[in-house]
Structure 1
């Protein structure tokens, strides 16, 4: 089984003798690639327009392609390799489309969480984020892609969202907890990031 960039026994999509993914920038140092990715992502994210539901795997592909098309030739494509981070093994490639579709169907059945109270929304998006993270449809960049999708979902549900208080390691730790034990750490993150209602309600 192949592992992702956090492993050492890398697949053919990495530069020989490294765990650095082959990229369009030909950067073969992990830190250089990481810094370039994040700068390009920030610039590319500014070009994305808000999307109304329905959302689907196609939405995730569109976001991923926009964020990574200057970095990877496979931007926007579903991974074909089995990957893991540490002891966390993500969805096998052959099941990704099915599992992602099931989760989007579940969110759609909940009317994209429209009309939810803030506390309901926090719990619901945490659960869905954890589920989609396990599917991990792309070789790299899943977290950044998912957060933009969830911005759409949360704003469409009528709330503001700001990720700036959450560090990278906190996201990783919360996703690990979601995989093994509980969605509560993800819910805690969303509770800190989801703001007040964007709509003034007249009771």
Structure 2
């Protein structure tokens, strides 16, 4: 794994994991074991929080991944505020740029504001998911954390997404398009056919465990660059069509 923002892969393993693992397969397996073991606790936490806030998102990530990552629950702005994160190379026009570290909280807050308008959220679920994914709060575990938060938000708006009928490649393509061009309907159009009636929270752990390949953009050719790089600065000036509300 080439993603080494701490610069200590050789001594601390991938992202300073508690087992100091370096092998990608072992990392994925151990990371997912931590996730699977903590799903019910994370969902219970979400169900109790009124309202869901940025701090809730951090708390859910910590519950899910602290068994593997000692830094779980800390966002990129706290850990690596000098780095920009991309899916793909920053100089590839097909790459996806995630939110600047210092604006992560603002992006998550904006997504939660959109979801609070339940009627709008039900009609535009992809806009909310896309905004959460664009925020990319963490160095790893973003997709799974966001998925749980998103499911709880949907539940409160009295609908659900039947993830079992979605396709990984089609979903990720629509998600990437949504991140690059927010609010243009890319992910809304993809998710709408899978919108179903609300489901019981009791079914969620089994549903989530059965999802394959829907952990967002995690480990999809993730790279990083210094925010001091003029090319990176230019990307952040031009790569999103629709800015956030002030």
What's the TM-score bracket when you normalise by the shorter of the two chains? 0.7 to 0.9
> Could you report, residue by residue, the CA deviation over 1:173-202 in whole angstroms, capped at 9, with x for unpaired residues?
22211122444245423532x322569xxx
With the length of structure 1 as denominator, give the TM-score of the two structures: 0.77
| Cα distance change, pair 196–102 in 1 and its aligned pair in 2 (3 A) | closer
> Could you report, residue by residue, the CA deviation over 1:107-153 in whole angstroms, capped at 9, with x for unpaired residues?
33x2xx1xx3xxx6454221011012111111111111111011111
8 Å Cα contact 2:115-2:121 kept in structure 1? no
Residue 30 of structure 1 deviates from its aligned partner by 1.0
The structure in which a higher percent of residues are helix is 2
The RMSD of aligned alpha carbons is 2.8
Give unmatched runs, 5+ long, in structure 1. none
Find the residue that maps to 2:41 and give its secondary structure: coil
Give yes or no for the alignment of 1:29 onto 2:23. yes
Q: How does 1:1-203 map to 2 (within 5 A)?
A: 8=2, 10-13=4-7, 15-16=9-10, 20-48=14-42, 49=44, 50-51=47-48, 53-79=50-76, 80=80, 81-86=83-88, 87-108=95-116, 110=117, 113=118, 116=119, 121-181=121-181, 182-185=184-187, 187-189=189-191, 191-192=193-194, 194-197=195-198
8 Å Cα contact 1:123-1:187 kept in structure 2? no
Give unmatched runs, 5+ long, in structure 2. 89-94, 201-246
Find the residue that maps to 1:28 and give its secondary structure: coil
Runs of 4+ in 1 over 6 A off after TM superposition: none
